[in-house]
Every structure is written in C-alpha cells, then in structure tokens.
C-alpha cells in the first residue's frame, strides 16, 4: 500500500527525504522498517491544513491556498520536525500531530513484532496510525478518538494515503474491547494514571506506552491487574486525554527559582496532591535533580503509584484517581 498521487507528491517526497535525514541525525530510525515507513508515508496528506502561532492567536495554513508562497510554506511545515496544531476550537488546542522525531522514538520503544496487534489512543490526524499500518499491516491496527469529527477526519486521511485500519469514535480511556486483545497499546494523549481497561485488553507480556506528567511511561503488562515499567529519558508534552476516566493534567510553574527546571515539573506532575511544593523541591534537590529515567510506575490491583529508583523503595506516590 502506498500514497495516492497528488499535486504535492514530488515536492512532498523531497521534503520527506530531508525529514528522514534529520531524524536519522538524532540517532533514530535505526530500524529499517521504521525508516521505510517515515520515508514512504506522505505526512502532508494528513495535515491538509494546520495552525501556527500568530499575534493574537493562530494563523491557518492550508494546501489549497491560492498564494503559491503560502502553499510552499504549508508543505515545508508539514514535514518540519515539530508538532503541528491541527484542531483549534475557541482559541484552545484540541488536537495536534506529534513531532516526527518523537514519534520515531515512541515507535522504536514499542518494540513491535510482525503480527502484533496495536491499539492507538488518540487518532489525531491519522499519521501515527499510518506509520503503524506501513510496519504491521492495517489489519493489525486500531485507533480511537473521543471526537467523532477527528476520527472521521483521520479515517479520510488514512484512506487517501491507502490505509484502512479500524478507526473508531470512542472514549480512549475505555480502550476498544471489541478489537482486543492487543500486544501493544500506545497513547498519543496525556493520561493522569493508567486506565485499567487498557490492561484488561492486553495479552500477557504486552507493552503500554503513554504520556504521563511530562514523560513517557513504558509498562510491561503481566495480567489484567498488574503492570510495571520505567519512564523513557525524553520529555514529552501532549494534549490531555478527554473522556469519562480522564482528568486534565496541569503544567504550571509551581515554584520560583531552580524548581522551574522542566525535570522538576515532571516530578511535580507525579507528586502533586501527595507532597506540597516545598517538600517536592527538597526531594528533587536531595536526590540530585533526578532525570525521568529514574522514575517508574507500578499497577497492582486497584493501586497505582509512581516511584523513584525502586518500586518498593522509600519514594512512592499514588497516581491521581487511584487508591
């Protein structure tokens, strides 16, 4: 399967090659299968319009602009290694296309194997699902989004690129039981804790990758009630999961001075509600400003907690909405 021909195909291919080189220069796309996916899936088909920051709000760029210079600007932006705002309502960002290099890192961390069934939470533009389809085959990919309009748009974009995975409008916090079980679940929206339905819909040994606080937690699932894993070292900022089981995360600057460091904000996202800001700052300084990779999450029965260094160690904090 491949992209249908369109008026931007040739220019898009050039931009795509440049994007792949840029991501490779960061030490990513070492797996030939993922390199081929990024080299062949036409990202511009998934962002026919998007928004860029402008004085007083957002400016809309689109493929049908009558100004050729603005069309060129749209196409270059479609292949820039940055996140793209794809849906804005009443001045608020509703949906975005993730930074391609971060996508590459996440897909590599998923460690998929031929024949794996993958559930994606947050369909967005459909581009991430297309990369999964290229690697695994569309029959192994399911993507859900709470917003029916976003789901339909993702379905349309995927079809234009030649892919037809299962795209459903559903509450991502509840997973997608009708297509279970899954070998991998990947979320492209931030969660405050791990939704229990995800674990129940996984095969034993499955991996779950999800944005939590300002990091990416990679969990190995033992069974429907148990999972554990560590955060990846990278930072990650995503639109929050919406739905019945979701709570909107907050990322303010909770304390002046050194605690404004983005690694402290990650810790604060984990301990908020358990420690006050001064206690959190004291811990962060005492433990030598720990990076994300020193933290992890354990799910055991009806309990979920984040921890530093050791799941059974002295530093552990219940995640929001859990016992």
Cα–Cα distance, 269 to 117 (Å, whole number)? 31
- Among the listed residues 63, 95, 98, 193, the single catalytic one is 95
Q: What angle do CA 272, 275, 281 make, to 5 degrees?
A: 95
9 in Cβ contact with 162 (< 8 Å) = no
Output the six-digit token pair for 209: 């990758």
Q: Please state the three-class secondary structure of 32-85 as a single string.
A: HHHHHHHHHCCHHHHCCEEEEEECCEEEEEECCCCCHHHHHHHHHHHCCCCCEE
For the chain, the residue count is 323
Could you tell me where the beta strands, DSSP code E, fall in 63-175? 84-89, 92-97, 118-121, 141-145, 166-169
The alpha carbon of 83 is separated from its chain's Cα centroid by a whole number of angstroms, namely 11
Burial level of 260, CB count in 10 A (0-12/13-18/19+)? exposed
Pairing of strands 182-187, 202-212: parallel
218 in Cβ contact with 194 (< 8 Å) = no
Does 95 participate in catalysis according to the annotation? yes
Assign residue 89 a region: left if phi > 0, alpha if psi is -120 to 50, beta otherwise?
Answer: beta
Query: Could you tell me which of 240, 243, 218 has the C-alpha nearest to residue 298?
Result: 218
Catalytic residue annotation:
95
């Amino acid at each position: 399967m491949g992209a249908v021909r369109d008026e931007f195909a040739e220019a898009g291919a050039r931009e795509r090659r440049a994007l792949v080189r840029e991501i490779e220069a960061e030490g990513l796309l070492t797996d030939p299968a993922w390199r081929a996916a990024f080299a062949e899936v036409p990202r511009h088909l998934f962002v026919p319009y998007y928004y860029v920051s402008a004085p007083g709000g957002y400016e809309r760029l689109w493929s049908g602009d009558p100004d050729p210079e603005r069309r060129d600007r749209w196409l270059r932006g479609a292949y820039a290694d940055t996140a793209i705002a794809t849906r804005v309502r009443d001045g608020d960002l509703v949906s975005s296309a993730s930074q391609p290099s971060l996508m590459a890192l996440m897909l590599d961390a998923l460690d998929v194997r031929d024949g794996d069934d993958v559930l994606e939470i947050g369909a967005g533009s459909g581009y991430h699902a297309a990369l999964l389809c290229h690697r695994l085959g569309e029959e192994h990919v399911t993507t859900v989004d709470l917003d029916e309009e976003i789901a339909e748009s993702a379905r349309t974009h995927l079809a234009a690129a030649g892919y037809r995975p299962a795209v459903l409008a559903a509450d991502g916090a509840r997973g997608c039981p009708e297509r279970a079980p899954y070998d991998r679940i990947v979320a492209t929206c931030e969660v405050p804790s791990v939704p229990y339905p995800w674990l129940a819909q996984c095969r034993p040994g499955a991996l779950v990758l999800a944005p939590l606080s300002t990091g990416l937690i990679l969990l190995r699932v033992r069974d429907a009630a148990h999972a554990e894993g560590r955060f990846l070292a990278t930072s990650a900022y995503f639109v929050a999961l919406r739905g019945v089981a979701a709570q909107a995360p907050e990322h303010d600057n909770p304390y002046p001075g050194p605690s404004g460091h983005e690694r402290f904000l990650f810790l604060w996202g984990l301990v908020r509600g358990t420690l006050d800001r001064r206690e959190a700052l004291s811990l962060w300084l005492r433990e030598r400003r720990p990076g994300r990779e020193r933290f992890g999450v354990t799910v055991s029965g009806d309990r979920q907690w984040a921890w530093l260094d050791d799941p059974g160690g002295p530093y552990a904090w219940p995640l929001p909405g859990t016992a």
